[in-house]
Chains A and B, each alone.
Chain A
Amino acid sequence: MSGKTRTIEVDTLARVEGEGALTLRIHGERLLSAEFRIYEPPRFFEAFLRGRDFREAPDVTARICGICPIAYMLGASQAMEMACGVHVDGTLRELRRLIYCGEWIESHVLHMFLLHLPDFLGVPDAVALAATHGELVKAALRVKKLGNEIMRVVGGREIHPVNLRVGGFYRAPGRTALRALLPEIDWSLGAMRDALDRLAGLDFPDFNTDYEFVSLRHADEYPITEGRLLSSKGVDLPVAGGYDELLTETHVRHSTALQSRRSDSGTPVHFGPLARVNLNRDRLPGELAELAERVGLGEMCGNPFKAILARGIEVLYALQEAARLIEHYREPEAAALDVTPRAGTGYGATEAPRGICYHRYTIDAAGLIEDAKIVAPTSVNQRQIEADLFHFAEVRLDQDDDTLRHGCEQLIRNYDPCISCSTHFLDLRRVRL
């Protein structure tokens, strides 16, 4: 077959959030290129944030993504608080961590069982999966519902919650309403343990890469709402200043999302649950660290197909953490701290379900936004996904088109790409309005 050129394309990637496509170009026995194309139309968030009040940023940026609004609301809030010299701590910080647990649970369970597991079992969707694995799908939907319920009780609404603000919350949730979630959390812990045991037995493709994993790293917590930037290749930087130093965004023709790479070496980095588990194993409760080991997430696991297991560990962690936070919860005296604007720049970075979500804002003395930079995890992973596609496909060119196409689609879904998020980011540092 040498000399023959074939192109393998997927025009609409299924079971991902947003619109993306895949193209492999093959000549003879050589892979010429692997492109992960993002064609979601740009929405210019960072542009229209200019001139808006700093207090509007959480609600506005939530609309970047319906699947992980908390990552935006919280990153924006933290950045604004930093710019204004306010630090939110104590119960309000714990409530933020609690609602973030809810987001991890609903987003991870959605991806694991409704979007990703069908790949491993060779079915088109969760509805087909329900025909053969009815109890598993029903259990997953119940755990997912609990995640959304945490979002609703703390945030007032599952998608685009209304109760979060710069400085804290509009109204602190009642202790009784939160404690009412405990029995369902307990049930979910059991259900997810069983489910994870079954997932550990899946057939994972043999594909390992020496990634540079990057995640947040906190002094004593598993990273969700804050931390330093840590990489598996020795980076250890504060988010403020460090993020912009570490990663640079570039604009390529086949994507409406800017791609990120390391500023110094030009190499891609890997964000997300696998990075977090690999870099923060010692921040997991001992029993979950052991479970991670037992299900197949050995030290520095470089098999992206096993991200489904890392998500499972993180769902268990988020459930335990939610229970702990609820048990300790006492209604705060004030639902929010006062935040008075002052001219300055603030930074915020949290661990969205798909990896670090970065915010940087500059505001004027009246609190109007002068400049905004927001980087979604999928836009960072984009380059890593393309590198993976190339390495995965180049040794599988003997496969027929359908098999290879399916393998590549699954590879992309390992990252739970949130394409809607990733395309709304423009590097406005170059803008002079």
Chain B
Amino acid sequence: MSKKHLDAPRKPRLAVFKFASCDGCQLSLLDCEDELLAVADAVDIAYFPEATSTMQPGPYELVLVEGSITTPHDRQRIQQIRRQARVLVTIGACATSGGIQALRNFRDVAEFARIVYARPEYIDTLATSTAIAAHVRVDYELRGCPIDKQQLLGTLAALLHGRRPPLPRYSVCEECKRLGHVCVMVAHGTPCLGPVTQAGCGALCPGCSRGCYGCFGPKEEPNTAALSAQLATLGVDAAARTRLYHTFNAGADAFRKAGEA
């Protein structure tokens, strides 16, 4: 990733674009109730259809992209958006790994759409759901299904001040330890993806006494083989292990491979 930041002399222009997604990650911005008006003061919200009917053309200093690429049209649209974007940040599991809809990647979608739709000729879809980075250069990635809104605010603030966003690359386990949660896998034998999942959520699931379901995607160099062996000793069979890895970030390389092993 490049070390780009926003040092524009005027208010940086912000645009938010959506591809295949649930809207939850862009909603995170509207969920920053205490900071929303301050954000709107710090940047010029030039394009954000979910929030405003003002739609200004690019170029934009900062572009947030939610969602994955699943149609021929969207495959072209992301190229145009990249050309309009000085800094492009992908937000959420769909944009960073293809999201839950990447489960189609493991099936024959062409045949599938023919069977499913009463009028398949109306449907224009790609065989795969892929991350934005598979199509264009991405400057920064915010993981999560959904993203963490403090991480989003921290990223906006860092970019506005010309700093590199502080994004962790370590595992959920480290967050868990720091928060003093009891390890659900060691203490209760609960299957947990924490050891191989990137931090950022605040170890929410172990905090609720359940195993991490990996919605922030794989950490840097995850040891999925060791985790899979541990899961097997806990009685998680091969099919269940595949489902565990192949949920919200099935399209992320490390989880895809771990689920196919």
Determine which of A13, A41, A159, A160 lies in contact with B74 in the assembled complex, contact meaning CB atoms within 8 Å. A41
Chain A 411-431, CB-CB to B under 8 Å as 1, else 0, gives: 000000010110000111011
Chain A residues with CB under 8 Å of B123's CB are: 42, 256
Cβ contact within 8 Å between B146 and A142: no
Q: Tell me if A158 counts as interface (CB < 8 A to partner B).
A: yes
- Contact A114 B99, CB 8 Å, known A53-B240, A127-B45, A170-B208: no
- Contact A145 B18, CB 8 Å, known A124-B53, A127-B52: no
Measured CA separation A31–B71 after assembly (Å):
32
Chain A residues with CB under 8 Å of B125's CB are: 41-42
Cβ contact within 8 Å between A63 and B99: yes
Chain B 202-231, CB-CB to A under 8 Å as 1, else 0, gives: 001101111001010000000000000000
- Contact A43 B33, CB 8 Å, known A15-B49, A66-B23, A256-B123: no
Cβ contact within 8 Å between A426 and B117: yes
Determine which of B18, B30, B115 lies in contact with A110 in the assembled complex, contact meaning CB atoms within 8 Å. B30
Distance from B72 Cβ to chain A, minimum over Cβ atoms (Å): 10
Chain B 35-55, CB-CB to A under 8 Å as 1, else 0, gives: 011001000010001111111
Cβ contact within 8 Å between B116 and A66: no
Determine which of B31, B70, B100, B101 lies in contact with A148 in the assembled complex, contact meaning CB atoms within 8 Å. B31
Chain A residues with CB under 8 Å of B51's CB are: 14-15, 114-115, 125-126
Chain B 107-133, CB-CB to A under 8 Å as 1, else 0, gives: 101001001111100110100010000
Distance from A330 Cβ to chain B, minimum over Cβ atoms (Å): 19
Distance from A38 Cβ to chain B, minimum over Cβ atoms (Å): 12
Cβ contact within 8 Å between A63 and B248: yes
Measured CA separation A67–B52 after assembly (Å):
17
Cβ contact within 8 Å between B70 and A43: yes
Q: Tell me if B158 counts as interface (CB < 8 A to partner A).
A: no
Measured CA separation A115–B31 after assembly (Å):
13
Chain A residues with CB under 8 Å of B129's CB are: 43
Partner-A contacts on B (CB < 8 A): 18-25, 27-28, 30-31, 33-34, 36-37, 40, 45, 49-55, 70-71, 74, 99-101, 103-104, 107, 109, 112, 115-119, 122-123, 125, 129, 145-146, 201, 204-205, 207-210, 213, 215, 240, 243, 247-248
Q: Which 10 A-B pairs have the closest CB atoms?
A: A66-B24, A125-B52, A14-B53, A145-B33, A48-B103, A43-B101, A141-B33, A124-B54, A170-B210, A66-B22
What would be 20 A-B contacts, judged by CB atoms less than 8 Å apart? A15-B52, A41-B19, A41-B70, A41-B125, A44-B103, A44-B112, A45-B100, A47-B104, A48-B103, A48-B107, A65-B24, A66-B21, A110-B30, A124-B54, A125-B53, A141-B37, A142-B33, A145-B34, A160-B215, A162-B205
